[in-house]
Structures are given as C-alpha cells and as structure tokens.
A and B are shown apart, each in its own frame.
Chain A
C-alpha cells in the first residue's frame, strides 16, 4: 500500500481507512451481539413508539391502532413550538456552558497536571452516586441560607435579594455539574494525544500563543470537542429532572412534556408523537453538526 508516501489526498486517505485497509481485518460476526442488542432494545422500542405516534387514544388507557396524523397536527401549535425552542436553547447553551467550563480543565489535565490519574478519578467519582442524589444535594448548596452565601451576603459581596434556587441559574449550574465529565473525558482523550511540539514549532515560526492555539491545537482536538458536545447535547434534549428539582418545575421542556403525556395525561399516542418529533429533529441537527464539524476538521489539517 502507498500509505507510506507523503502526500495522499485526504479523500484517498479516508477511503483507505473506510475499507479497513492497512489494518487487521476482523470478522463481521464480532458485531453480532451489539447488533442483536440494538435490534431488540433500540429498533424494537423505537418501532413501537412509531406505531403509537400514529395511533389514537381510546378512553384512559386504550390505544386504537390506526394511521392518523392527528397527534402531529395537534402538536403543530405555537405553544408546543415554544417548548421545542426552549428545549433547543437549553441543550445549546447547556452544551456551550459545559464546554467553556470543561475545556480549560481538560487542557490543564492533559498538558500541565502532575497527578493526572488522581484528578481524572476525582472527576469520575461523583458519577458513582445517583444522579438524583447529586442533584438534590445542590438544593442544599444553592439554598439562600447556605453558610457561604450567608457570609458573602453579610459582607456585601452578593446582593441581599439574590435568589439562585428555582431560577434558570440553578438549572444551568446543575446541568454543567452533571454533564461535565461527559465533556471533559473526550476532550482529555483528544488533548492527551496532542503532540505539543507542534505548538512549540508554530510559536517558533512566529505565532503567538493564541494563534497557535487557534491554528494548531483547536483543529487537532476538534474531534474531541465534537464528541464531548454531542455527548452533552443529546441527553440535554431529553433533560427533565434538573429543571424539575433545581428550577422549581416552573418551565416545560420537551422531556417534561413527554413525561406528562405518559404519566399524568395518559395520552401515550400524543407522548409518542412528541418523542418522535424530538428524535427526528435531533437526528437532523446532529447529522448537520457532525458534517459541518467534520468538514472543519478536514480543512484544519
């Protein structure tokens, strides 16, 4: 193979990688367990949802299997449109906030930290506790009467009427906290592989630190940024517990709306229709994002 020759076009290189050439060939049956698993527990439930979404509700619990788009028509309503936009906003800004907090941390860990294993452990350890308990503990920390806040208020650092709990501030704090490891770990993996001599070379050739970061580091770790952002963005589209617990349940996101249909309104077909729309919208968004970011990564090289 011509892999050794220097100037292969990107496209050609990608084709080679796709064909698996140059590496060991694994038999396809290795994918069988995963395939069966996905067929049973992903495609299966998804199909059931699709069938529900075009069905009709009868009475409280009955479902009439038919093909009706009524649920989607009912969903085509500014009220639900606003719920979707709000969810999209939460997912987008939540991802950005997590990235802003997570990137410097991952950068420090990969480039400067001494006791990397210990620090990585410390990032993962909270995940050993239930999500619910971790979120509930923020109720105590964000309480107006938490000693730190009380002290800061008394010396005038924080305004007297500061209310964090049951506002969107609390929701974002909870989200960044809960999703941080999902962002930091892929970023760290990407930064860890960085050849820092490239950055030094760029600086030797006249780039300042910022330019070198933009032109060398960022393009090289972009796949990590992409992976981390997707890992945070996708579950955030379905997030509903953090707004309930820390946000005082004062707003509706798509996740709450779906839960409400299944648990209190008992309108499973309508709930399934909302879920299908969320899944479809997310698929389009994620594909577009992956394509865009993928292109960026290619040009960056």
Chain B
C-alpha cells in the first residue's frame, strides 16, 4: 500500500542522475536554467581557519542539497568571499555544460570518473595544494592519488559512498550478504521483485565482482561471463531504475535493489530494511572538488576547499549530507557527532572498505560495457 504519494517524493543527489541524463542536452543548449542565488548574509566571525587570501565572489556549481546551508554564510563571514550558487543534477549535465563552453564557474563537484573525463578533455585547472593547508593536514591518505586522478592533479575528495544492495528485512528472510545470494534470490524466490540501477558501471561492475573479478575489469572473457550472468538475471528484473527503486522498496513492490548507500539509508529510515556492502566487494564512489578551466576566481575555490576541511565545519557537512567524510578519523573523533561517526552506513568498517574499488573508466572499457548493457536490456 503506497504511503508516500509520488508528488511528495524527494530524490537525493544520486537519484536524479538517470532522469536528468535525458535532459542533459537541454541544459547544455539552454544556458543557465537554474536559479542563481546570492548569499552574502553575515554569520559568526569566529573560528576562522588559516584561509589563504581570497576575495570577490565564488561561483559554485554543485549538486543541489549537497552543502549544509549554514556553511555558506559562515564562509562569507570568515573569508569575505561572497557565493553565487548554481546547481546540476547529473555528471553528464555538468559535462555537457562545460563542453558546451560554459565559463564563469570557479568550483564544481564531479564524481571520480567524471574528474578523469573532464581532465582528459582539458576542462579542469590544476589544484594548487600549497593553498590547501587544512587539506594537507586532515585528509585521510586513502583519498589521495585515487585511480581516477593518480597524481592528485585535478581533484580533492569531498564525500564518498558505496554501491551495494538494499533489501527489506521483513520481506526477505534469507538475510543475503553477498552478490551471489543477491543474484540467486533475484532469479528464484523474489523474481520480478528486484530492481537494478540504470547505471552501466554499477550493474556490470557489481556482476564482475560477484564472479570474482575486478569491478573495472576489461578482460573480454571476464566481461563475457558478466554478460551471461546478466542476461540470465534479466527476465527476473522488475525495473531498471535509479530514481524509483527507493519508493518501490518502501511500498514493498520491490524487496531487493542494487543501489547506493544514500538511498539505502533513506529506505532504512522508513521501513525495516538493510543496506549491504556485499562480502565480495563492490564500488566506492568519491565526489571531488575540482576547478573548471577558465575559472575567474580559483583563489576563492581553493579558499572554500580549505575552509570545509576544517574538522568542525566538515562535521556539520556530514551531519547534513550523511555521506562519508574523507577526513582522517582521529581528526573527526571528538568533533563529529559520535552517532554519525559510528554509523556504518555512513562510514563502513575498514575491512569492508578494503574490498571496494572506485570506478575507473577507459574509452575501450566503456565501449565493451555499453554493448553488454544493450544486450542485457535487449534480453
């Protein structure tokens, strides 16, 4: 029985991806369609981090609802830099806009693979680490030199999360903990009650991991195995969606879904459910700060990055977004709300994390995956 009517549903930052990919071109052609907002209200003037000199206005192009609203006035009060905001709803949206020649943004937040693509296309300015003392001091080393930016040239981690699966604990009694169990249950008992993301890397990558291969494998034999497993799974899928599965799980129309931890947490908050990072492993994604080529005020961008790397500010950010913080754990200890710090949906355990890989794309791998995806959907 439906509890939340469709008009009241909220999509989070990740859930928008699929839907808005369709309209990415419109955004690219239509110029700025989202509202600009000026934030120059004064806040407290305490707790100034040793921010490098910056002035003027910061043009911040970001996912909607991805910054604690209190952070803006604090930043302006502490640094004197005003903020102009604009929002996008998918990485492809962002890419289309930058490739279409949009200039004037100083700071963006692409997901890892998009950092690689934008860097590859000369659409980013290098990061000047000498202007980021807070980052140097507080960033956990496991978020440095990530595969999509091996030289730390283009990006600084902002938030991170995982791709796994969610299931309703009251409707699925088997308590699956592995991808294998997810696939077996989907093909058997819960046929037509399971959804997967409308995301090529997530679905193909997770299948590869189930088969014991790397999430980013480009081995044709391994990809062939993944293809076969997916075609076998296909008739049992209720829908391929990144935007609707949260609600389907809440309504009980779906009982298991391959999805992101943020959506998983949203389901857990409403119904008896569990988000699982499968034992075989899977993906961990990182959204990073980057500075687009032609930025007018890169100093302000550096100032912002440095500012939010202050442990106190960062704790407020995490308390708002509920995505993992890339700061060292001992730095956050005692500053961040312990309930959040010990929440394994926000901060998975070390041994869980060790098994995860970030999505790394290559043109060839993308082509092979695209074909598998077409076969999967055609099956």
A binding-site residues for B, Cβ under 8 Å:
57, 59-62, 79-80, 82-83, 86, 136, 139-140, 143-145, 163, 166, 240-241, 244, 248-252, 256-257, 259-267
Decide if B35 is an interface residue (CB 8 Å cutoff): no
Q: Is the CB of A249 within 8 A of B370?
A: no
With a cutoff of 8 Å between Cβ atoms, the chain A residues found around residue B373 in the complex are: 260
Decide if B184 is an interface residue (CB 8 Å cutoff): no
Q: Using CB atoms, name the residue of chain A closest to B361.
A: A60
Q: A62-B121, A79-B371 are in contact. Are A244 and B22 (CB under 8 A)?
A: yes
Q: Is the CB of B253 within 8 A of A250?
A: no
Q: Is the CB of A264 within 8 A of B377?
A: no
Q: A249-B241, A252-B374 are in contact. Are A61 and B1 (CB under 8 A)?
A: no
B binding-site residues for A, Cβ under 8 Å:
1-2, 5-6, 21-22, 24-25, 92, 95, 99, 116-117, 120-121, 192, 198, 200, 234, 237-241, 251, 253, 361, 363, 366-367, 370-371, 373-375, 377-378
Q: Is the CB of B239 within 8 A of A263?
A: no
Residue of A144, A145, A241, A250 near B239 (CB, 8 A) is A250
With a cutoff of 8 Å between Cβ atoms, the chain A residues found around residue B22 in the complex are: 240-241, 244, 259, 263
Excluding A79-B378, A82-B378, A266-B366, 9 further A-B contacts by CB distance (< 8 Å) are A60-B361, A79-B375, A140-B6, A145-B2, A244-B22, A248-B238, A251-B377, A259-B21, A264-B366
Q: Can you name 22 A-B pairs with beta carbons within 8 Å?
A: A60-B120, A61-B95, A61-B117, A79-B371, A136-B6, A140-B5, A144-B253, A145-B1, A166-B238, A248-B237, A248-B238, A248-B240, A252-B378, A256-B377, A257-B374, A261-B370, A263-B24, A264-B21, A264-B92, A264-B370, A265-B366, A266-B363
Quote the shortest CB–CB distance from B261 to chain A (angstroms).
Answer: 22
With a cutoff of 8 Å between Cβ atoms, the chain B residues found around residue A252 in the complex are: 374, 377-378
With a cutoff of 8 Å between Cβ atoms, the chain B residues found around residue A250 in the complex are: 234, 237, 239-240, 377
Complex Cα gap A145–B240 (Å): 21
Q: Is the CB of B374 within 8 A of A83?
A: yes
Q: Is the CB of A266 within 8 A of B377?
A: no
Quote the shortest CB–CB distance from A85 to chain B (angstroms).
Answer: 11
Quote the shortest CB–CB distance from B73 to chain A (angstroms).
Answer: 35
Q: Using CB atoms, name the residue of chain B closest to A143.
A: B2
Q: Is the CB of B238 within 8 A of A265?
A: no
Q: A60-B117, A145-B1, A251-B378 are in contact. Are A263 and B92 (CB under 8 A)?
A: yes
Judged by DSSP, the binding face of B is helix
With a cutoff of 8 Å between Cβ atoms, the chain B residues found around residue A241 in the complex are: 22
Q: Interface centre among B117, B367, B378, by most A CB within 10 Å?
A: B378
Residue of B25, B116, B121, B239 near A166 (CB, 8 A) is B239
Q: A61-B121, A145-B1, A251-B377 are in contact. Are A260 and B370 (CB under 8 A)?
A: yes
Q: Is the CB of A59 within 8 A of B363?
A: yes
User: Which 4 A-B residue pairs are closest in the complex by CB-CB distance?
Assistant: A248-B239, A265-B370, A61-B121, A249-B240
Q: Using CB atoms, name the residue of chain B closest to A166.
A: B239
Q: Is the CB of B371 within 8 A of A60?
A: no
With a cutoff of 8 Å between Cβ atoms, the chain B residues found around residue A249 in the complex are: 198, 239-241, 377
Q: Using CB atoms, name the residue of chain A closest to B2.
A: A145
Quote the shortest CB–CB distance from A272 to chain B (angstroms).
Answer: 14
Q: A143-B2, A263-B92 are in contact. Are A248 and B241 (CB under 8 A)?
A: yes
Complex Cα gap A124–B62 (Å): 38
Q: Is the CB of A60 within 8 A of B238?
A: no
Residue of B1, B25, B240 near A262 (CB, 8 A) is B25
Complex Cα gap A62–B240 (Å): 30
Q: Is the CB of A79 within 8 A of B374?
A: yes
With a cutoff of 8 Å between Cβ atoms, the chain B residues found around residue A140 in the complex are: 5-6
Quote the shortest CB–CB distance from A52 to chain B (angstroms).
Answer: 14
Complex Cα gap A144–B1 (Å): 9
Quote the shortest CB–CB distance from B324 to chain A (angstroms).
Answer: 25
Quote the shortest CB–CB distance from B318 to chain A (angstroms).
Answer: 30
With a cutoff of 8 Å between Cβ atoms, the chain A residues found around residue B6 in the complex are: 136, 139-140
Quote the shortest CB–CB distance from A189 to chain B (angstroms).
Answer: 32
With a cutoff of 8 Å between Cβ atoms, the chain A residues found around residue B234 in the complex are: 250
With a cutoff of 8 Å between Cβ atoms, the chain A residues found around residue B253 in the complex are: 144
Q: Is the CB of B374 within 8 A of A57?
A: no
Complex Cα gap A210–B361 (Å): 63
Quote the shortest CB–CB distance from A247 to chain B (angstroms).
Answer: 8
Quote the shortest CB–CB distance from B11 to chain A (angstroms).
Answer: 12
With a cutoff of 8 Å between Cβ atoms, the chain B residues found around residue A139 in the complex are: 6
Complex Cα gap A248–B24 (Å): 20
With a cutoff of 8 Å between Cβ atoms, the chain A residues found around residue B5 in the complex are: 140
Complex Cα gap A83–B375 (Å): 10
